[in-house]
Amino acid sequence: MKLADYLTEKNLSHAEFARMLGMDSTSAALNVSRYARGLRRPRPAIADKIVATTKGRVKHKDLYSVEIAE
């Protein structure tokens, strides 16, 4: 499941999810937004936290997959 789909399903904002991950910096919500839109890939430690926090609904492959536009 894509992170954006998970956040929509759970009605979570980027800021709320960032707090769930233990990310407290001022740019945390922006980073989560970029992860959800596929504009940035999370570091492995953050990816592990995303997988754990979503109880495996979002998988590593969902965070690192590359879609090729035709």
Cβ count within 10 A of residue 58: 23
Cβ count within 10 A of residue 3: 22
pLDDT of 67 > 80? The answer is no
- What does the pLDDT look like over 5-37, one tens digit per residue? 999 999 999 999 999 999 988 899 999 999 999
Total residues belonging to the chain: 70
pLDDT of 47 > 80? The answer is yes
Of 41, 50, 44, 47, which Cα lies nearest the Cα of 20? 50
